[in-house]
Chains A and B, each alone.
Chain A
Amino acid sequence: MLVNEKIAIEHGLKSDEYKKICKLLKRTPNITELGIFSAMWNEHCSYKSSRIHLKKLPTKGKKVIQGPGENAGVIDIEDSDAIVFKIESHNHPSFIEPYQGAATGVGGIMRDVFTMGARPIANLNSIHFGSPQNKKTKNLLRGVVHGIGGYGNCMGVPTVGGQTSFDSSYNGNILVNAMTLGLVKKNKIFYSKAAGLNKPVIYVGSKTGRDGIHGASMASASFDDKIEEKKPTVQVGDPFTEKLLLEACLELMAGDSIIAIQDMGAAGLTSSSIEMASKGNLGIEIDLSKVPCRESNMTPYEIMLSESQERMLIILENGKEDLAKKIFDKWNLDFAVIGKTTNTKNIELFFDQKQVAKIPVNTLVENSPMYDRKWKKSKLPKKIKHDRSKLKNLKIKETLKKILSSPNICSKEWIWEQYDHTVMGDTIQKPGGDSGVIRIHGTDKAVAATVDSSATYCWAHPLTGGKQVVCETWRNLISVGAKPIAITNCLNFGSPEKEENMGEFVECVQGIGEACKYLEYPVVSGNVSFYNQTKEIGIKPTPAIGGVGLIKDYKKMITMNFKGTGNQILVIGKTEGHIDQSLFARVILNEKNGPPPEVNLFNEKNNGETLLNLIDKNYVKSAHDVSLGGIITAISKMCIKGNKGVELKIPKFLINEIEYFFAEDQGRYIIEVSLEDLKNVTKILDKNSVHYDEIGKIIDKDLIINQKTKVTIDELKSYNTNWLKEYMN
């Protein structure tokens, strides 16, 4: 087939991008070459709209072993251990085909992690759906949850945490972000940089089929009316093969045969081979006739662009082929020597003894387009003047009932009970807490992981929202007693070609960067997903942040369930009564405007570090961060989990009860301390200038406020647990 501009545009390339290709090659590309360019230059693979901004994120730190640019980030967790982790989006395919889309998202991120030599030890996810009233929402939710469970459960990796939200801005574009943590010895980390000439290039794993062709290009465009036609671009997952691939790769990695390894993810064989060659500043030669194919008569174009799952590309030391083959044979996986490294710095493809493509590697990578797109700055919205007398008249019990049972607050047990969260025998904090916590097998250490996002805040003011999400993960880690180390980010936005959306991206990234820098909490890996847009309607900006922290002695881990009758309850951090953009404002007042709560990074850091200090001194019996739904929501959840009541007397403030209880000011936690320790605790808080309110004590049953409002724990439970179950059944 002769290539021309029209065909290039059908491949998702822009007219000037096509002209650039012709100029770089000094000729017209053939169809296979055009396919390769389109795969490497699409938004998903090239980060052409985001690169320039992502460079500004802080990525270095004492604990960072590997920052962005590899299959996943790596952090030091002391002794000889390291954690490999990353989050990735699989939004577009999950909307088209929820089960397979979500399943292969989970499979892809696990492969990124074990490609680096790490055994996956925990999965998390951040999933976002349209309004519950939208007719598609229920099926999408069911399909996504089944897909995540179907893949993760079969792999035998526990799913220990996550986040689910509902918002009408996701009606036409759901979000499915999957995160994996893996454990590796520091001296056994594998990278994707090729090295050495004439080294065998090995293909292992599943056979190549026609599934997922142009998957990455599909994920780099908005949806329109013809979305059903895109089904063939969704990959099909086989977790059983991936489990075998995991075991086989780890077995091979125990020796010293591997020079470089890269999984075939987005853009399959194309991006894996090119990335390895590019990083090693080498050329690569592949005979496509040797690629194990599932279907007959596959063309070079199809083989290069297939996104069939569960495949890896490995560059081996010479002479290790037989040893490696034996391992893959044992696990019943395909193994084929398909090429070698060369000094030409070209990617050269052969098929049936004929050369079918020859492209300089640097044209695909370094010369890929980079755009400084136009973007629009957001203004901080004006504060809403709430009618105080109206607020005063609200009944706390009724209000609390509406908040606890609202879709974005209610218990997500229906979801996480479908994920195996206890396999591997080291899950010491299950989903439903502030963070999932996994013991490092056979040691006293544990890692905590959380994933969060706050699209509403980011939509109202991206800069503040960006900062807030980072802080929320920081608080979730501290609440379980973990010292935060680093984050991974999944940046979900609308079209970068629209100034408003691009502005949201730029300012969210700026906010994330500022918070990470201040908290010394660097970004080690991540992923950008643009074009979460159907026709003209884009999603609310939704950066999802995955945070990871270390607990040196797992016996010091904190949970959020209230423990002892008579213990005192403190609110750490100051409550100013910020109602705008809160769940309360949306659910009770039906008010969508106003600024998000301000983020004071000094207070965040100071409050968090002081709380870690209190935890280290064994003063804290339970802790929970205050976020969506405010203080009373946080306390209610602690009551439900601990099956205990509380007697609250709110301090006399300028603000009224409703504002005090439902405001979403940042940097706050609820903690439980014993009466004996109270003095020592307040002394430390005072010394560190941390604001706190003593608001009550734990009792055997019932939540009682100022001796007039009484809610039983069973009532709280029914408010909180019923909505999702009833909605899904």
Chain B
Amino acid sequence: MKSSVITFPGSNCDRDMDVALSKFGFKNKMVWHNDQELPKSDLIVLPGGFSYGDYLRCGSMASKSKIMHSVINFAKSGGLVMGICNGFQILVESGLVPGVLLRNKYLQFICKNVHVKVDNEENSFFKNLDKKVLEFHIAHNEGNYFCTSDQLKEIEDNNQIAIYYCDKNGNTNDQTNPNGSIKNIAGIFNKEKNVLGMMPHPERMIDESLSGEDGSIFFKNLLNNIK
């Protein structure tokens, strides 16, 4: 399976994502933001970081980057696109997934392990996953997901919420909400569920010596799903 990771100026999780995808058997290519064409890919990843310094608004300038035209077309034709952290912010800014990402509730950057509950299996990212609660890692300043009540209704009606922040038993409440996201939303799909944006970094959880191994479960499952 072929994947491509886009490097924007200021991306800083691009290498980590490359390492993770390659580890689990993707043939990964790095793509420069100024390129026009995407290499032939089964999966496009927008990595974490601070694209264009996150000046103006997180992800807003990157969403206007040259390569994004191709990414948007790829997504619209049904290709799989995943945005992690800053990548999620870019997806939101480019309109590929609904809602916005505000500054964290306590106005602080948060870097820690969190649990997320998978609540949606009709998609290529999470289907067949035999674990419903995963331990992932977050590291962000603007991950506070917000949308209007009309949007929320639509999102819920279409079953677009991918993952929720929760405790290790899967309970979602204020105590398990690290950043103030509406409904504890940690990740969200587009209507067609071929585009996933999420704040947690599965690529930082791919080795027992690191923060944990639930990222490995996620990537192995993802590869199997799109094979």
Structural contact, B204 and A425, CB atoms closer than 8 A: yes
Structural contact, A244 and B111, CB atoms closer than 8 A: no
Structural contact, A422 and B109, CB atoms closer than 8 A: no
Name A421's closest neighbour in chain B (CB-CB).
B111
Structural contact, A240 and B50, CB atoms closer than 8 A: yes
Chain B 109-129 interface mask (CB, 8 Å, partner A; 1/0) = 111100000000000000000
Structural contact, B12 and A156, CB atoms closer than 8 A: yes
Structural contact, B111 and A419, CB atoms closer than 8 A: yes
Q: What residues of A have a CB within 8 angstroms of the CB of B110 in the complex?
A: 417-418
Name B108's closest neighbour in chain A (CB-CB).
A418
A240 to B9, CA, bound (A): 8
> Which of B13, B53, B111, B209 makes the CB contact (< 8 A) with A156?
B13
Structural contact, A154 and B111, CB atoms closer than 8 A: no
A20 to B110, CA, bound (A): 54
Q: How far apart are B79's CB and chain A's nearest CB, in angstroms?
A: 26
A555 at the interface (CB under 8 A from B): yes
Given the contacts A418-B109, A425-B210, A238 and B53 also touching, CB distance less than 8 Å: yes
Name A247's closest neighbour in chain B (CB-CB).
B9
Q: How far apart are A103's CB and chain B's nearest CB, in angstroms?
A: 13
A608 at the interface (CB under 8 A from B): no
Structural contact, A154 and B16, CB atoms closer than 8 A: no
A682 at the interface (CB under 8 A from B): no
Given the contacts A422-B204, A425-B210, A427-B210, A332 and B9 also touching, CB distance less than 8 Å: yes
Q: How far apart are B213's CB and chain A's nearest CB, in angstroms?
A: 13
Given the contacts A154-B10, A422-B111, A239 and B50 also touching, CB distance less than 8 Å: yes
Structural contact, B203 and A331, CB atoms closer than 8 A: no
A155 at the interface (CB under 8 A from B): yes
Q: What residues of B have a CB within 8 angstroms of the CB of A428 in the complex?
A: 209-210
> Which of A417, A422, A555 makes the CB contact (< 8 A) with B211?
A422
Q: How far apart are B61's CB and chain A's nearest CB, in angstroms?
A: 10
A483 at the interface (CB under 8 A from B): no
Chain A 600-634 interface mask (CB, 8 Å, partner B; 1/0) = 00000000000000000000000000000000000
Q: How far apart are B212's CB and chain A's nearest CB, in angstroms?
A: 11
B137 at the interface (CB under 8 A from A): yes
Chain B 9-20 interface mask (CB, 8 Å, partner A; 1/0) = 110110110011
Given the contacts A154-B53, A240-B50, A424-B16, A439 and B109 also touching, CB distance less than 8 Å: no
B72 at the interface (CB under 8 A from A): no
Given the contacts A244-B9, A418-B111, A439-B209, A424 and B50 also touching, CB distance less than 8 Å: no
Q: How far apart are B9's CB and chain A's nearest CB, in angstroms?
A: 6
Structural contact, B111 and A425, CB atoms closer than 8 A: no
B187 at the interface (CB under 8 A from A): no
A427 to B15, CA, bound (A): 15
Structural contact, B10 and A240, CB atoms closer than 8 A: yes
Q: How far apart are A81's CB and chain B's nearest CB, in angstroms?
A: 18
Structural contact, B206 and A423, CB atoms closer than 8 A: no
Q: How far apart are B88's CB and chain A's nearest CB, in angstroms?
A: 16
Structural contact, B55 and A240, CB atoms closer than 8 A: yes
A436 at the interface (CB under 8 A from B): no
Chain B 43-61 interface mask (CB, 8 Å, partner A; 1/0) = 0000011101111000000
> Which of A243, A417, A425, A427 makes the CB contact (< 8 A) with B10?
A243
A546 at the interface (CB under 8 A from B): no
Q: How far apart are B5's CB and chain A's nearest CB, in angstroms?
A: 14
Q: What residues of B have a CB within 8 angstroms of the CB of A239 in the complex?
A: 50, 53
> Which of A332, A420, A421, A554 makes the CB contact (< 8 A) with B209?
A554
For chain A, which range describes its interface: under 10, 10 to 19, 20 to 34, or 35 or more residues?
20 to 34
Q: What residues of A have a CB within 8 angstroms of the CB of B108 in the complex?
A: 146, 417-418
A154 to B112, CA, bound (A): 17
Q: What residues of B have a CB within 8 angstroms of the CB of A240 in the complex?
A: 9-10, 50, 52-55
Q: How far apart are B83's CB and chain A's nearest CB, in angstroms?
A: 17
Those of A200-225 within 8 Å (CB) of chain B:
none
A149 at the interface (CB under 8 A from B): yes
A423 to B139, CA, bound (A): 8
Structural contact, B12 and A155, CB atoms closer than 8 A: yes
> Which of B50, B137, B204, B210 makes the CB contact (< 8 A) with A243?
B50
Structural contact, A153 and B209, CB atoms closer than 8 A: no
Given the contacts A153-B139, A331-B9, A417-B112, A423 and B50 also touching, CB distance less than 8 Å: no
Q: What residues of A have a CB within 8 angstroms of the CB of B53 in the complex?
A: 154, 238-241
Q: What residues of A have a CB within 8 angstroms of the CB of B207 in the complex?
A: 425
Q: How far apart are A416's CB and chain B's nearest CB, in angstroms?
A: 8
Q: How far apart are B224's CB and chain A's nearest CB, in angstroms?
A: 22
Q: What residues of A have a CB within 8 angstroms of the CB of B109 in the complex?
A: 149-150, 153, 418-420
Q: What residues of B have a CB within 8 angstroms of the CB of A153 in the complex?
A: 50, 109, 111, 139, 141
Structural contact, A422 and B10, CB atoms closer than 8 A: no
A567 to B111, CA, bound (A): 32
Structural contact, B111 and A424, CB atoms closer than 8 A: no
Q: What residues of B have a CB within 8 angstroms of the CB of A238 in the complex?
A: 53
Chain A 149-170 interface mask (CB, 8 Å, partner B; 1/0) = 1100111100000000000000
A386 to B84, CA, bound (A): 59
Q: How far apart are A721's CB and chain B's nearest CB, in angstroms?
A: 13
A623 to B109, CA, bound (A): 31
A243 to B207, CA, bound (A): 27
Q: How far apart are B32's CB and chain A's nearest CB, in angstroms?
A: 9
Name B113's closest neighbour in chain A (CB-CB).
A422
Those of A128-183 within 8 Å (CB) of chain B:
146, 149-150, 153-156
Q: How far apart are B80's CB and chain A's nearest CB, in angstroms?
A: 22
A554 to B108, CA, bound (A): 32
Structural contact, B52 and A423, CB atoms closer than 8 A: no
A554 to B209, CA, bound (A): 9
Q: What residues of B have a CB within 8 angstroms of the CB of A423 in the complex?
A: 12-13, 16, 48, 139, 204
Structural contact, B209 and A422, CB atoms closer than 8 A: no
A244 to B12, CA, bound (A): 11
Q: What residues of B have a CB within 8 angstroms of the CB of A156 in the complex?
A: 12-13, 49-50
A402 to B168, CA, bound (A): 32
Q: How far apart are A728's CB and chain B's nearest CB, in angstroms?
A: 9
A555 to B207, CA, bound (A): 12
Q: How far apart are B20's CB and chain A's nearest CB, in angstroms?
A: 8
Q: What residues of A have a CB within 8 angstroms of the CB of B52 in the complex?
A: 240
Name A159's closest neighbour in chain B (CB-CB).
B111
Since A150-B109, A417-B108, A425-B20 are in contact, a sample of 14 more A-B pairs with Cβ atoms closer than 8 Å, ordered by chain A residue number, is: A149-B109, A153-B139, A154-B12, A156-B12, A240-B9, A332-B9, A418-B108, A419-B111, A421-B111, A422-B139, A422-B211, A423-B204, A425-B15, A555-B209
The 3 lowest CB-CB distance pairs between A and B, nearest first, are A156-B12, A240-B53, A425-B16
Name 17 interchain pairs, CB-CB below 8 A, sorted by A.
Answer: A153-B50, A154-B50, A156-B49, A240-B10, A240-B50, A240-B53, A332-B9, A418-B109, A419-B109, A419-B111, A422-B201, A423-B48, A424-B15, A424-B16, A425-B19, A425-B204, A554-B209
